[in-house]
């Protein structure tokens, strides 16, 4: 497909040969105000090269570009070259690519490159709560975005299935556990034990010592500890998978922290050999003072390994197994400092690929009553949120459409309810903190997932009414684009041809919300077009052009929603 920005950059590069086409592409802007053109090129950077005032350079370039059939007009305003594209030509280009649903917005820039993405990664025997939704949904979307750009993406779930908390959990189970309760409702029961452990340990500090020993045994082959731990793990995974299924999320590997336990002695030895390990109050650390970072903790005084040690092993393992181009961690911003330490240690170990490790942080979710706290039992289960959203959607559908058949209501309610929750997660830039509010998650008005899905269903309905014949003809793209130059249609067309750029931008910034915002814009533009103009008019040529635009909008919304992991139903 033709990338318009690239085409423009090519033309400017011919005029201003001192910048490369790529540099120019980075400078080209999309003006906020449509009156300033579809694209603008600021000439400030050329002033130095040409020893000329930017407006004079802009004037020169504008004049030279003016004759090009790609543009309706090119103007110089101050230091800017403002370019107005030829609407019909652009409509043709946009339709040609957007009508090809299969390939629209996709590319193969990533061919031959492997990306490992570590996301979700919940902790075993702990609730899969609303705090995990972000890494899960953002990670899944980043996977989909890179996948659509041709990368080979490995989704890995670095389950937190190791560490001292298992000592506590096993202790608690031994003191107060009941197998039947656990089998019936594993995570809530284990959570109750874990909470109780902390309450009791305040009164009786001996318990902490017992927990420490229990974890030591677990790490050193204690049979009973391993048996209980495995049982907890299996039960937890069963629950996690239920939630992943609801959201349609899959992983290629469930390589939890425990998988790397065998590699611990090797890592510790390696750090020693490389002269990086230091003793500090009985523990082993890598000192990072020189880099203004706190020391990285490698082993505790009793020799047990830590989160960081396991992550060092994990990174080495991933490089060996996948030879990654990028190794991405979608983990809360609370761990930003930790990842700086981790990557720094890898660098000091001499791994040049440390630079390919990327932490993609996101902001915190809090509850109205305060921060989430597993220990204090202040949690909202993700599964409950998803279920509630589905129920509420079902109510709304039944209210609006009492005659719909039950099976299809259930299906749509699932797609819309769960889609709404996921879409909501991906609406704001990921780094923002937010407070979880039931009514916000269950609000389906305004710029929400259901609104975008509804627009998709509206396009589908227009196409059903247009009939198969008209749709087949429009699908060829052989339509008269002079019918698509009205304001509403043109706004939509612009959004369509920008869509591939938007996907690439979202990938560069690891920011799915860029896609979310764009498909909201597309939905709004289509709805405006739908209200402002008659689509299924008598004039055959006009009708086909507008049907083609409807197919294109539908494809863009469907592909965009797919990148978010959200379904696009044809009927709602
Ligand atoms: N289980 C960790 C947590 O819940 C997240 C793990 C992220 N991945 C990693 N390789 N450290 O905080």
- Check whether 463 has a pLDDT greater than 90: yes
Q: Rounded to whole angstroms, how far apart are CA atoms 325 and 323? A: 7
For residue 160, the CA-to-ligand 1 centroid distance in Å is 6
Tokens of residue 23, six digits: 């540099």
Q: Rounded to whole angstroms, how far apart are CA atoms 316 and 140? A: 23
Tokens of residue 440, six digits: 């916000």
Q: Is 76 helix (H, G, I), strand (E, B) or coil?
A: strand
Nearest alpha carbon, ligand 1 atom 9: 158
- Supply φ then ψ for residue 275, to 5 degrees: 70, 25
Please give the mean pLDDT across all residues of the chain: 92
pLDDT band at 314 (very low <50, low <70, confident <90, very high): very high
Instruction: Identify which has the larger pLDDT, 371 or 7.
Output: 7
Q: Rounded to whole angstroms, how far apart are CA atoms 386 and 390? A: 6
CA angle 291, 334, 513 (to 5 degrees): 110
Tokens of residue 425, six digits: 């997660």
Q: Rounded to whole angstroms, how far apart are CA atoms 256 and 222? A: 19
For residue 135, the CA-to-ligand 1 centroid distance in Å is 10
Active site includes 456?
A: no
Which whole number is the average pLDDT over 543-564? Answer: 98
- Check whether 374 has a pLDDT greater than 80: no
Active site includes 376?
A: no
pLDDT band at 556 (very low <50, low <70, confident <90, very high): very high
In terms of Cβ atoms closer than 10 Å to its own Cβ (0-12, 13-18, 19+), residue 502 is buried
The atom number, within ligand 1, closest to the CA of 314 reads: 10
- Check whether 131 has a pLDDT greater than 90: no
pLDDT (0 to 100) of residue 407: 82
Of the chain, the percentage scoring pLDDT greater than 70 comes to 99
pTM of the entire structure? 0.92
Q: Which of 5, 59, 87, 129 is catalytic?
A: 129
- Check whether 261 has a pLDDT greater than 90: no
Q: Rounded to whole angstroms, how far apart are CA atoms 123 and 163? A: 10
Test site for ligand 1: of 251, 331, 346, 374, most ligand atoms within 8 A of the Cβ:
331
Q: Which residues pair with 371 in a beta bridge?
A: 366
Using the 8-state DSSP alphabet, how is residue 122 labeled?
P
The atom number, within ligand 1, closest to the CA of 118 reads: 8
pLDDT band at 437 (very low <50, low <70, confident <90, very high): confident
Which range has the worst mean pLDDT, 242-251, 445-454, 474-483, 532-541? 445-454
pLDDT (0 to 100) of residue 418: 96
pLDDT (0 to 100) of residue 375: 65
Radius of gyration of the chain (CA): 28
Give 95-109 pLDDT, tens digit per residue. Answer: 999 999 999 999 999
Q: Which of 87, 126, 168, 394 is catalytic?
A: 126
Which range has the worst mean pLDDT, 35-44, 212-221, 437-446, 521-530? 437-446
Residues 6 or more apart from 179 whose CB is under 8 A from it?
Answer: none
For residue 360, the CA-to-ligand 1 centroid distance in Å is 12
Test site for ligand 1: of 126, 131, 154, 160, most ligand atoms within 8 A of the Cβ:
160
The atom number, within ligand 1, closest to the CA of 159 reads: 1
- Check whether 306 has a pLDDT greater than 90: no
Find out whether 121 and 307 touch, Cβ atoms under 8 Å. no
Q: Which helix (H) or strand (E) holds 370?
A: strand 370-371
For residue 376, the CA-to-ligand 1 centroid distance in Å is 20
Nearest alpha carbon, ligand 1 atom 5: 121
Q: Which domains does the chain have, with CATH numbers?
A: 4-85 (3.30.1360.70), 395-563 (1.10.730.10)
Using the 8-state DSSP alphabet, how is residue 124 labeled?
T
Tokens of residue 507, six digits: 């990938």
Find out whether 15 and 65 touch, Cβ atoms under 8 Å. yes
Nearest alpha carbon, ligand 1 atom 3: 122
DSSP letter for each residue of 241-262: HHHHHHHT---SB---GGGGGG
Residues in contact with ligand 1 (CB, 6 Å cut-off): 118, 121-123, 158, 160, 311, 314, 329, 331
Give 24-71 pLDDT, tens digit per residue. Answer: 998 999 998 888 999 999 999 888 888 889 999 999 999 999 989 899
Q: Cα dihedral angle (332, 337, 343, 348), rounded to 10 degrees?
A: -170
Test site for ligand 1: of 117, 121, 133, 136, most ligand atoms within 8 A of the Cβ:
121
pLDDT (0 to 100) of residue 296: 96
> For the sheet containing 277-280, what is the strand order?
277-280, 283-286, 296-299
Q: Rounded to whole angstroms, how far apart are CA atoms 119 and 136? A: 6
Q: Rounded to whole angstroms, how far apart are CA atoms 457 and 554? A: 8
Which whole number is the average pLDDT over 76-80? Answer: 95
Nearest alpha carbon, ligand 1 atom 11: 311
Tokens of residue 317, six digits: 């393992």
For residue 331, the CA-to-ligand 1 centroid distance in Å is 7
For residue 139, the CA-to-ligand 1 centroid distance in Å is 13
Q: Which helix (H) or strand (E) holds 453?
A: helix 449-466
Nearest alpha carbon, ligand 1 atom 6: 121
Residue 441: C-alpha distances to residues 130, 138, 153, 264, 423 (Å): 11, 16, 30, 42, 10
pLDDT (0 to 100) of residue 1: 58
- Check whether 517 has a pLDDT greater than 70: yes
pLDDT (0 to 100) of residue 222: 92
Beta strands 71-77; 80-85: pairing state? antiparallel
Nearest alpha carbon, ligand 1 atom 8: 158
> For the sheet containing 39-42, what is the strand order?
39-42, 80-85, 71-77
- Check whether 72 has a pLDDT greater than 90: yes
Q: Rounded to whole angstroms, how far apart are CA atoms 294 and 311? A: 17
Which whole number is the average pLDDT over 305-320? Answer: 95
Q: Rounded to whole angstroms, how far apart are CA atoms 407 and 412? A: 9
Active site includes 126?
A: yes
pLDDT band at 330 (very low <50, low <70, confident <90, very high): very high
Q: Which of 5, 59, 87, 132 is catalytic?
A: 132
pLDDT (0 to 100) of residue 377: 67
Which whole number is the average pLDDT over 299-318? Answer: 91
Which whole number is the average pLDDT over 461-472? Answer: 97
pLDDT (0 to 100) of residue 195: 87
For residue 312, the CA-to-ligand 1 centroid distance in Å is 13
């Amino acid at each position: 497909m033709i990338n318009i920005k690239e085409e423009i950059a090519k033309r400017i590069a011919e005029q201003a040969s001192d910048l490369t086409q790529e540099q120019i592409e980075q400078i080209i802007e999309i003006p906020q105000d449509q009156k300033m053109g579809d694209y603008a090129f600021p000439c400030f950077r050329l002033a130095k090269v040409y020893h000329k005032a930017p407006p004079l350079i802009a004037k020169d370039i504008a004049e030279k570009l003016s004759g090009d059939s790609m543009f309706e007009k090119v103007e110089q305003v101050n230091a800017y070259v403002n370019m107005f594209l030829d609407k019909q030509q652009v409509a043709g280009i946009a339709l040609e690519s957007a009508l090809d649903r299969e390939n629209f917005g996709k590319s193969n820039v990533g061919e031959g490159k492997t990306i490992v993405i570590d996301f979700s990664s919940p902790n075993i025997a702990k609730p899969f709560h609303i705090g995990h939704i972000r890494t899960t949904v953002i990670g899944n979307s980043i996977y989909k975005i890179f996948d659509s750009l041709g990368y080979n993406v490995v989704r890995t779930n670095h389950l937190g299935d190791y560490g001292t908390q298992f000592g506590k959990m096993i202790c608690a189970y031994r003191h107060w556990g009941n197998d039947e309760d656990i089998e019936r409702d594993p995570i809530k029961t284990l959570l109750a034990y874990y909470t109780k452990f902390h309450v009791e340990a305040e009164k009786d500090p001996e318990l902490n010592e017992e927990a420490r020993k229990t974890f030591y045994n677990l790490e050193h082959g204690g049979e009973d500890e391993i048996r209980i731990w495995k049982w907890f793990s299996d039960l937890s995974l069963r629950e996690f998978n239920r939630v992943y299924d609801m959201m349609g999320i899959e992983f290629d590997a469930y390589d939890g922290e425990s998988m790397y336990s065998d590699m611990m002695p090797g890592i510790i030895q390696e750090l020693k050999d490389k002269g990086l390990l230091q003793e500090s109050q009985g523990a082993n650390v890598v000192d990072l003072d020189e880099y203004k970072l706190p020391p990285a903790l490698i082993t505790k005084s009793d020799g047990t390994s830590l989160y960081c040690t396991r992550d060092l092993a994990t990174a080495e393992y991933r490089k060996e197994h996948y030879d990654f181009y990028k190794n991405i961690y979608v983990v809360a911003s609370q761990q930003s400092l930790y990842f700086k330490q981790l990557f720094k240690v890898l660098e000091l170990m001499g791994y040049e690929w440390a630079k390919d490790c990327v932490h993609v942080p996101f902001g915190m979710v809090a509850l109205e009553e305060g921060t989430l706290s597993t220990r204090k039992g202040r949690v909202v289960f993700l599964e409950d949120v998803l279920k509630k959203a589905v129920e509420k959607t079902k109510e709304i559908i039944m209210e609006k459409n009492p005659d719909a058949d039950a099976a299809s209501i259930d299906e749509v309610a699932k797609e819309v309810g769960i889609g709404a929750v996921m879409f909501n997660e991906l609406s704001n830039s990921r780094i923002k903190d937010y407070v979880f509010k039931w009514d916000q998650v269950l609000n389906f008005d305004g710029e929400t997932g259901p609104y975008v899905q509804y627009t998709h269903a509206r396009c589908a309905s227009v196409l059903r009414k247009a009939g198969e014949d008209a749709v087949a003809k429009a699908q060829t793209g052989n339509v008269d684009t002079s019918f698509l130059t009205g304001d509403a249609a043109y706004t939509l067309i612009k959004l369509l041809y920008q869509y591939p750029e938007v996907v690439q931008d979202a990938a560069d910034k690891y920011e799915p919300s860029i896609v979310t915002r764009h498909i909201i814009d597309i939905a709004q533009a289509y709805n405006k077009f739908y209200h402002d103009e008659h689509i299924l008019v008598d004039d055959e040529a006009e009708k086909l052009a507008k049907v083609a635009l409807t197919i294109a909008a539908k494809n863009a919304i469907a592909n965009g929603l797919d990148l978010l992991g959200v379904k696009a139903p044809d009927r709602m």
